[in-house]
C-alpha cells in the first residue's frame, strides 16, 4: 500500500496517505527527515515533517500543517535545542477570522512528548 523506498502512491479518492518519504543522511546513515502528505480534498493533515540534527541525531524540528480551507490549525512547529534536547519553542498558527500566533518556551521532557504526539 505504501512505498517504503521513498516513492509515492497516489490514492486521492480513498482518503488514504498520498505519499510518505524518508530521507537518510549519507554521512550518518540516520534518518534526516520524514514527510507524510495527505490529499488536500480530504481536509486532513496535508503534510507532516520531522527533521533530525546531524550532530546530535535528535529531532531538530517537527511540523504539521492542515489544509487552509478548514480554518483549522494551519501549522504546528516544535523546535528542539541542540544543547539540551528540549523543546525550544512551539509555534501555533491558526488561519481564519481569529488568526493568532503563540510562541511558548518549554523546558520539560513532558512537553517534548506532547509535541511528539502531534506527529
| Tens-place pLDDT, residues 36-61 | 665 556 545 555 556 666 565 555 55
pLDDT number for residue 88: 58
pLDDT number for residue 106: 41
pLDDT number for residue 44: 53
pLDDT number for residue 91: 55
pLDDT number for residue 117: 47
How many distinct helices (H) and strands (E) make up the chain? 1, 7
The 10 Å Cβ neighbour count of residue 12 is 12
Instruction: Give the whole-angstrom CA distance, residue 19 versus residue 32.
Output: 17
User: Which residue ranges of the chain lie beneath pLDDT 70?
Assistant: 1-119
From residue 99, give the alpha-carbon distance in Å to each of 44, 58, 87: 20, 32, 24
pLDDT number for residue 1: 44
pLDDT number for residue 112: 46
Amino acid at each position: 500500500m505504501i512505498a517504503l523506498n521513498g516513492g509515492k502512491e497516489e490514492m486521492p479518492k480513498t482518503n488514504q496517505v498520498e505519499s510518505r518519504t524518508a530521507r537518510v543522511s549519507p554521512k550518518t546513515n540516520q534518518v534526516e527527515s520524514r514527510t507524510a502528505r495527505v490529499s488536500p480534498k480530504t481536509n486532513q493533515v496535508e503534510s507532516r515533517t520531522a527533521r533530525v540534527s546531524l550532530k546530535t541525531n535528535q529531532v531538530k524540528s517537527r511540523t504539521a500543517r492542515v489544509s487552509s480551507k478548514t480554518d483549522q490549525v494551519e501549522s504546528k512547529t516544535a523546535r528542539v535545542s541542540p544543547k539540551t534536547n528540549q523543546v525550544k519553542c512551539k509555534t501555533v498558527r491558526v488561519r481564519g477570522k481569529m488568526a493568532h500566533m503563540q510562541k511558548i518556551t518549554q523546558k520539560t521532557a513532558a512537553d517534548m512528548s506532547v509535541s511528539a504526539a502531534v506527529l
